[in-house]
Structure 1
Amino acid sequence: MHLPDTEFDPDDNFAHGTDPDLEIDEDAGTETLVWQLLLLVNPGDEETALQQFAAYQDATADAGEDEFEPAWVLKDIIDWKSGFQVHDDDAAALVESITELVARWNLDLDWGVEDPTDDEFLADASIPALLQVAYDALRAYGYTLWIWDTGTATTAGWITLSRDNEAMGAIAPALGIKLRPGG
C-alpha cells in the first residue's frame, strides 16, 4: 500500500480546516482526495482510514479513473464502519446505523424517546425528522452529520468533526459527491 503523493501532511486531518484561506486543489489526484476524505470520516482513527484506503486501492487497482465513481467505491468500503446508506423508508436501519457509528466515540444520542428501536416509534418516524434529531444531537458533541445526495431511493452519509466542515465542503465536491449537512 502506498499513500498518495501530497504536498501536505496527511496526518494533519485538516486541523486548520476552519482557516478562511483554506484551499483545496480540485486538480489533486483522486487518491489524495480519497485519503483526506477517509481521514475526515474517521476522526482520531487513522488505522481505520489506512485500512479503508488500502481497500479503495485494491478495489480500483485495475480500473482507469474514468471507469468508476470514487463515491460509490467509498460507500461500499466505509458502510457501517464510517458511513451509512439506508433505504429512504427504513427508519429502523437509519437509527441502528447512526447509533453504531456514534458508538465509536462513546456517544449515545437522545432520539427523543426512551427506546428508539420501539416499533411504534419507528412506524411513525420519518427519515428527515430522524436526521434532524441526529444532526442536532451530534452538533452538541462537536460533530456534523453529512448527507450524500445519491440520486437513488436511499439516504447515505457520514459524520465528521464540526471543525472539519469547511474541508469536507471542499473535498466532497472535488470527488463528485453532492453533500449537505444533515440538519
Structure 2
Amino acid sequence: MNPTDDDFDADDGFDESDDDSVEARVWQLLLLINPGDQEMALQQFAEYRDAVVHADEHDVEPIGVIRRIIDWRSGFRIDAQDTHALVQAIDELSSRWNISIDWGGDPDDDDFHADIDAASLFGIAYDRLNEHGYTLWACETDDDSYAGWVTLTRDNEPLRELATALGINLRLGSEVT
C-alpha cells in the first residue's frame, strides 16, 4: 500500500496534493529510510500521525517524533561511548537487506571495542553498506549520542533535500568525527 492508494487517502485523510506539508515530508522520509519496506513506512507514518494529532504543527519537532517511532526498526540513537550498541544497531538495520558487516575484527570481543571508537565504526559500516548500494547516515543530536539510519545510495540527494526541509542536520556515516 502507498500514499496514493484510495484506501489510504480515504481512511487516513492524507492529502498527497499538499506535498509541501510537514506530514508529506515525513511520509517521504519514512519511505526513504525503509527501502523496500513500504509496510513499515506506513506503520511508522500512522504512529507519527498518532503522536502529533493533537499538537500544533508549530510545536512539533518532526525529528524528535521520528526518532521515537523508528528506533531500532529503521534507525537508532545510542550513547556516543557505547560502541557495542552502535555495532548492534547497525547490524540490526543491515540485516533487513541480508547484509553482514565485516567490522575488521570480532565485535563480540571487548578488546575490539577497547581499540575502536564510534567514528571509526561509522566509517567501516558506511563503506561496507555502500558496496551494496546503501548509505549510512548520521543525524545530529543535541546530546552525547549518535543517531542514524540507512537509505539506498540512489536516494542520497532526495534525502538531503527532505532533511533540510524538516530541519534535520545529516552527515554521511563516513563524515562522523
- TM-score, normalised relative to structure 1: 0.86
Unaligned 5+ runs, structure 2: 1-10
Residue in 1 that maps onto 2:16:
6
Spell out, residue by residue over 1:37-65, the C-alpha distance to the aligned partner (whole angstroms, 9 max, x if none): 00000001000000000000000001001
Deviation at 1:33, TM superposition (A): 0.2
Which of these residues, 81, 89, 105, is aligned with residue 81 of structure 2? Answer: 89
Deviation at 1:151, TM superposition (A): 2.2
Residue in 2 that maps onto 1:38:
30
Mapped partners of 2:49, 2:77: distance in 1: 21
Q: Give the length in aligned residue pairs.
A: 164
Mapped partners of 1:118, 1:3: distance in 2: 50
Residue in 1 that maps onto 2:51:
59
Residue in 1 that maps onto 2:123:
132
1:120 paired to 2:116: no
Q: Secondary structure at the match of 1:137?
A: helix
Spell out, residue by residue over 1:4-52, the C-alpha distance to the aligned partner (whole angstroms, 9 max, x if none): 32249xxxxxxxxxxxxxxxx7xx1010000000000000100000000
Which residue type is aligned with residue 61 of structure 1?
Answer: V
Mapped partners of 2:103, 2:13: distance in 1: 39
Mapped partners of 2:142, 2:74: distance in 1: 20
Which residue type is aligned with residue 79 of structure 1?
Answer: D
Q: Percent identity, aligned pairs only?
A: 51
Instruction: Give the 4+ runs in structure 1 shifted more than 3 A.
Output: none
Spell out, residue by residue over 1:108-164, the C-alpha distance to the aligned partner (whole angstroms, 9 max, x if none): 010001x21211101221000000000000110000000001121110010000000
Mapped partners of 2:37, 2:13: distance in 1: 16
Deviation at 1:93, TM superposition (A): 0.3
1:153 paired to 2:163: no
Spell out, residue by residue over 1:78-109, the C-alpha distance to the aligned partner (whole angstroms, 9 max, x if none): 00000010111000000000000110101101
Which residue type is aligned with residue 34 of structure 1?
Answer: V
Q: Secondary structure at the match of 1:105?
A: coil
Unaligned 5+ runs, structure 1: 9-24
Residue in 1 that maps onto 2:172:
181
Which residue type is aligned with residue 73 of structure 1?
Answer: V
Q: Is the 8 A contact 1:4 1:35 kept in 2?
A: no
Q: 1:125 to 1:3 in 2, by over 3 A?
A: farther
Residue in 1 that maps onto 2:102:
110
1:49 paired to 2:41: yes
